[in-house]
Each structure stands twice: as structure tokens, then as C-alpha cells.
């Protein structure tokens, strides 16, 4: 059978808990954050989704085309810039297509002027997991 210490025991336990709480650092529930120390958040100019972006420039960085999906009008010249240390290509996906760059190095660019409407999928032949799409509208 347990021996009860009555109200004095409850007061003593409560005082001990209060003392421990006072010595502990404050704990709060984290709210929304805009950045994490180990992760850089994308800026508004970066596209990480498959939503089309109206632009005529594509950056090649971190082994990806950014943005991965763009929309331009017929007659627009699109410029790809390699920001990676490794060489990359911009090559139409499939047996035919208008995009066919030679490998280009960091800081180099490739340009192509789209003369007809359509959807043009492309990839880097050196790194075929790198894929993207240009949609050309009239």
C-alpha cells in the first residue's frame, strides 16, 4: 500500500515542477519560416514546377533546365546559358526537331529562333535525365 503525504506532498511536487520549468529554456511552437539553414529557398525567378513560364531565357544549372517549361511566340529567339561546370546540349527529343546544339561549356550560350508553332520537347544528350519543353504559340 502507498503512503500518501497529503497536501504537503502535492505542494512539494508542484514546487519542484515549477523550479524545473523555470530552469528550462523557453519552448515555442515554430511558426512558418521563409528559409531553412540547410536549404536555399527558390526565388520568384526560378521555376521548379511544370507550369509554363513566359520567358525567352533558360538557365542550365544544377543539372536542370530552369525554367523547365516555357511559352514563347513564333519568331522568338530563346537563349540557353550553361551555368554548370559540366558541358550540356540542347537537343530535340526524338528523331527530328529543330534543337541540335553542340556541347557547350560553363558561361556559353546556345540560341534558337522558333519559326513555327508547336510543342518542342528537348533534353541534354550528355545527361538525358535533363528534360524540358518549349511551347510556341502563334
Higher-pLDDT residue of 71 and 16 is: 71
Task: State pLDDT tens for residues 80-89.
Answer: 999 999 999 9
Q: Residue 136 in contact with residue 96, Cβ under 8 Å?
A: no
- Taking only the tens place, the pLDDT of each residue in 39-51 is 333 333 344 456 7
At residue 21, does pLDDT exceed 80?
no
- What is the pLDDT at residue 135? 96
Residue with cell 538557365: 59
Whether the predicted pLDDT of 118 surpasses 80: yes
DSSP letter at 40? P
Amino acid at each position: 500500500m502507498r503512503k500518501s503525504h497529503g497536501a504537503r506532498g502535492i505542494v512539494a511536487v508542484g514546487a519542484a515542477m515549477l523550479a524545473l520549468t523555470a530552469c528550462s529554456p523557453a519552448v515555442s511552437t515554430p511558426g512558418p519560416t521563409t528559409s531553412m539553414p540547410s536549404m536555399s529557398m527558390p526565388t520568384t525567378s526560378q521555376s521548379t514546377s511544370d507550369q509554363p513560364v513566359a520567358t525567352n531565357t533558360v538557365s542550365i544549372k544544377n543539372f536542370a533546365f530552369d525554367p523547365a517549361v516555357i511559352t514563347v511566340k513564333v519568331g522568338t529567339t530563346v537563349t540557353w546559358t550553361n551555368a554548370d561546370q559540366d558541358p550540356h546540349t540542347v537537343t530535340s527529343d526524338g528523331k527530328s526537331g529543330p534543337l541540335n546544339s553542340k556541347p557547350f561549356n560553363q558561361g556559353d550560350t546556345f540560341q534558337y529562333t522558333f519559326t513555327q508553332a508547336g510543342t518542342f520537347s528537348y533534353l541534354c544528350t550528355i545527361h538525358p535525365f535533363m528534360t524540358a519543353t518549349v511551347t510556341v504559340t502563334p
